[in-house]
Amino acid sequence: MKTYSQEELNLAQTYSQICPAGAAMALTSKATGTLAPSKDQLRYNKSPTSNKHVSQSQALIEYLREQVSLKKMRFVALYHEVTETSLLTISKASMNRRAQQMNNEGVFDEDLEQAQDIQLTYEDSSSTVQQLRLKSAAEKVGIAEALLAMKQDMQVGKKVFLACAWCTEEERKLFQKYPEVLMVDVTFQTNNQGRPLFTSCSPGRDMFFFTPLRAYLPSQCRTPAQSLPKCHSWIVHLHLVTKPLAEAGSKLVGKDDPFVLNQIETFKRWVFTWMCLGGIETDEEFEISHRLLVQWLKAFRNDDATERASEDLKHNSYHLELELIRIMNHKSRWYFPSRRHQGIGHYPIQIEFPMWAHAKA
């Protein structure tokens, strides 16, 4: 590979930002008298610290830290410092996987339950570091499943990168304003470490979609919604609907019925609290909210519930109550189960979103 002086690289970089690639190479060649560097060479030489030995994870973290210093992005990264306990847990997860492949029942040993807590280092864009302790066997094995792909390179005392998530400041503000629907897409084997890239999208007030969060997740990790086509589900249609669902007879109720519109809007906002960060956070809160919503819908089918009860309101309440049955259990919203065959051992990994993700804009 031809080497270029820093002056030539800076000139080529300037041209590439203001004109198409072909014209940029021609202008650079004319100005320097030599063959212009390609786009790959510019990317390779962009940072003085860049070299081919830097992993994709290191390059990503360096880039995010640079963007944070420019106040353009925020990010959070998750690490694990390898200990004897974590190596034991990985061995248990590996044994459990082999047992499952042989259609045998995997059993946790008591030493895993009694082992010391596995700690994760949690670093966010404000340079604060927190320690997260995993106490349950399911959490330990969930992390161990993510570390299996890196088992060969793991040594006691080594700091292992697990995942990171990032977003721009503009996207964070948009997500704070319009957090109603969060859809996800996971693409596997997007890099040489076999880690999938997680992206999420959400509709704004004008129904145009934006991406509020991206995450670089451990290998062998997935979400219940595997691809964007699956995002076009009933709940997306429900949240984006602009007309009432009611149809009493052959005439669709229009916007001139404020009571039906208010029923739909109230239901949507109620369900939104289960989907957005900073809303319903615990299983107990979800159970209470879900029970109250069902009672509220059933009240519309009671003639004495309100003086303005109509057939349209009764019709809506019946169908909306049926839709509630199809909502995923609340505690599975932010879980990313390990990819496994059908059977036992579907251990989840819970990813805590940083506080800045739902801070007020």
Residue type, 54: V
Instruction: Write the burial class of residue 210 (CB in 10 Å: 0-12 exposed, 13-18 middle, 19+ buried).
Output: middle
Whole-structure pTM over 0.75, yes or no?
no
Based on the domain organization, do 205 and 322 belong to the same domain? no
pLDDT in tens, 273-289: 665 545 555 667 777 88
**Which tokens in the block code for residue 268?**
């949507």
Based on the domain organization, do 185 and 102 belong to the same domain? yes
Q: Is residue 55 a part of any domain in this protein? A: no
Does pLDDT of 201 surpass 70? no
pLDDT in tens, 95-137: 555 545 444 444 444 444 444 445 555 555 554 445 545 444 4
Based on the domain organization, do 141 and 27 belong to the same domain? no
**Which tokens in the block code for residue 60?**
């990503």
Pairing of strands 159-168, 183-187: unpaired
Based on the domain organization, do 106 and 199 belong to the same domain? yes
Predicted pLDDT of residue 317: 80
Based on the domain organization, do 42 and 89 belong to the same domain? no
- In the numeric block, the tokens 């049926």 are attached to 322
Q: Is residue 67 a part of any domain in this protein? A: no
Q: Is residue 267 a part of any domain in this protein? A: yes
Contacts of 280 (CB under 8 A, 6+ apart): 273, 274, 286, 289, 330
**Which tokens in the block code for residue 180?**
């109603």
Instruction: Name the residue range of residue 24's domain.
Output: 1-46
pLDDT in tens, 330-345: 444 433 332 332 222 3
Based on the domain organization, do 217 and 106 belong to the same domain? yes
**Which tokens in the block code for residue 271?**
């369900």
**Among 144, 117, 122, which residue's Cα sits nearest to residue 133?**
117
Comparing 80 with 10, which gets the higher pLDDT? 80
